[in-house]
Amino acid sequence: MVLPGFFEFGTHFEGIEATDLFALNSVLGASIETQVVRTLNKMRGEWDPDEQWAGYRFVRQSQTFPDVLLARRGADSADIAMGIELKGWYLLSKEGVGSFRFQVTPAACSEFDLIMIVPWRLSNVMSGTPVASEPWVESARYAAELRNYWWEHLRRTSAPRGIRQPAGVRPYPTKDMTILDVPEYDGGGNFGRLSRVTGLTSDFVASATAQEALGIPIDHWINFLRLHSDSSDPELVTANLLNELTANAEARSEEDARQVLSHLSELVRLLAPGSAA
């Protein structure tokens, strides 16, 4: 939970069109996750204060599960302490929730493995350096088991609910091992989306998007940018945003909503490429 205080990303980004911000996760996602691993190693004093894990460090591995291992350098599976499936979540993504999927079968997760979602944004919303927020952390095996239980027993559907699970799976699999659960039918392509699993990440998502950036809640930024991205009619954008602001807060007067809209518009103007500010 103290990771944001140690997180540093030295590259400064500017000149991004407001309507292009939604694409940042695909551009910077891998770099953010690499920096999170570096940050975890810088935090050794937090997770190994008594130096019981001397010789171990967090390392990134590609194209296999989990993304990150706490292991000895050059170690075999006997020297792996734990793994972390790491997901970066750009807070201003158009969906408003993480679009990542977690389809790994429970048998591939050790009892110590974690899944971790790290929210991030640019320090000045449309420019600046990436900054991280408090992550969501859960047992990877629990998340996989709950995902399957929800898919088979809790979701409302008349479609087939079965899941085909690979055989012979063990924790810390090799790259050539089949480790993904596959639903019998997934017409909407939603299997593995943890945001769809009832209650698993809902509180985390609500808390993360309620945080403020430049004094304005993240979810207001998302609504504002989404409307500008989906429509080129300024008057329609203004009317739609005003409707959303007033509908989502009964205690807020229409004048308050107009002031928020005015602040958002002014910030976009000031931070846009080529602005005199």
Question: Which DSSP string do the residues of 149-204 spell out, in sequence order?
Answer: HIIIIIS--SS---EE--SS--SS--TTS--B-EES--TTS-TT-GGGSTTTSHHH
Distances (CA, A) of 99 to 215, 221, 276: 26, 18, 36
Tell me the percentage of the chain whose pLDDT exceeds 70. 79
What's the pLDDT score for residue 23?
77
Residue 149, CA atoms < 13 Å, CB-side half-sphere: 9
pLDDT digits (tens, 9 = 90+) for 240-263: 666 766 666 554 556 666 666 666
Instruction: In whole angstroms, give the CA distance from residue 156 to residue 121.
Output: 34
Nearest to 32 by CA among 72, 91, 83, 80: 91
**Which pLDDT tens digit goes with each residue over 114-169?**
999 999 999 998 899 999 999 999 999 999 999 999 999 998 889 999 999 999 99
Between 227 and 189, name the one with better pLDDT. 189
Say which amino acid occupies 50: D
Res 259: pLDDT? 64
Domain ranges of the chain: 3-211, 231-271
Pairing assessment for the beta strands 114-122 and 68-72 based on DSSP bridges: unpaired
Judge contact between 242 and 258, C-beta under 8 A: yes
pLDDT of residue 181: 97
| Cα–Cα distance for residue pair 163/186, rounded to 1 Å | 10
Alpha carbon of 171 to those of 47, 111, 113: distances in Å?
23, 9, 9
pTM metric for this prediction: 0.80
Helix (H, G, I), strand (E, B) or coil at 74: coil
Residues whose CB is less than 8 angstroms from the CB of residue 246 and which lie 6 or more positions away in sequence, other chains included: 252, 254, 257
Residues 14, 127: contact at Cβ < 8 Å? yes
- Of how many residues is the chain composed? 277
- How does strand 212-213 pair with strand 182-183? unpaired
Phi, psi of 13 (to 5 degrees): -115, 135
Q: Is the pLDDT of residue 32 over 70?
A: yes
- The closest alpha carbon to 208, from 127, 120, 143, 139, belongs to 120
Mean pLDDT of the chain: 84
269 falls in which pLDDT band (50, 70, 90)? low
Are 151 and 191 in contact by the 8 Å Cβ rule? The answer is yes
Nearest residue to 218 via CA among 207, 227, 229, 210: 210
Query: What was the pLDDT predicted at 77?
Result: 60
